[in-house]
Amino acid sequence: GNSVTQMEGPVTLSEEAFLTINCTYTATGYPSLFWYVQYPGEGLQLLLKATKADDKGSNKGFEATYRKETTSFHLEKGSVQVSDSAVYFCALSSKGSARQLTFGSGTQLTVLP
């Protein structure tokens, strides 16, 4: 079956530091890959996505590249801000799966001023 593995948190960084959150997946076929962000007390918001190998999703300074050879979709940002503090979820979606999205366990990011 499908599965998503994220690096465990929590992750604490200083403002302007470089961020990487690792995500690897197991899936049949060619899934679409997503990063969602959850701010405290809120629902999840789509941050970025990639639908085929070598695609790069980007939004708000965050980037992730769909690497089929390593089955990875690592999230990166060159310079984090305090406002980036949130929980980040990696997810995949594959055709033929009635449940559509499979989520990772989430990574808590705290950025200190």
Q: Can you give the binding site for another protein, defined by CB under 8 A?
A: 31-32, 34, 36, 41-46, 49, 51, 89, 91, 93-95, 98-101, 103-106, 108
Q: Which is nearer to another protein, 79 or 105 (CB)?
A: 105
d(CA 14, CA 93): 33
Q: Is 35 in contact with 4 (CB distance < 8 Å)?
A: no
Q: Which residues of 58-85 are buried (b: 16+ CB within 10 A; e: fewer)?
A: eeeebbbbbbeeebbbbbebeebeeebb
Q: Which residue has the tokens 């403002």?
A: 15
CB of 79 to another protein, least distance (A): 26
Nearer to another protein, 34 or 111 (CB): 34
Of the two residues 17 and 101, which places its CB atom closer to another protein in the complex? 101
Q: Least distance in Å: CB of 16 to another protein?
A: 27
| Least distance (Å) between residue 86 CB and another protein | 14
Among 106, 77, 76, 97, residue whose Cα is nearest residue 32: 97
C-beta closer to another protein: residue 16 or 53: 53
Shortest distance, position 104 Cβ to another protein, whole Å: 7
**What sign has the CA pseudo-torsion 37, 75, 65, 73?**
negative
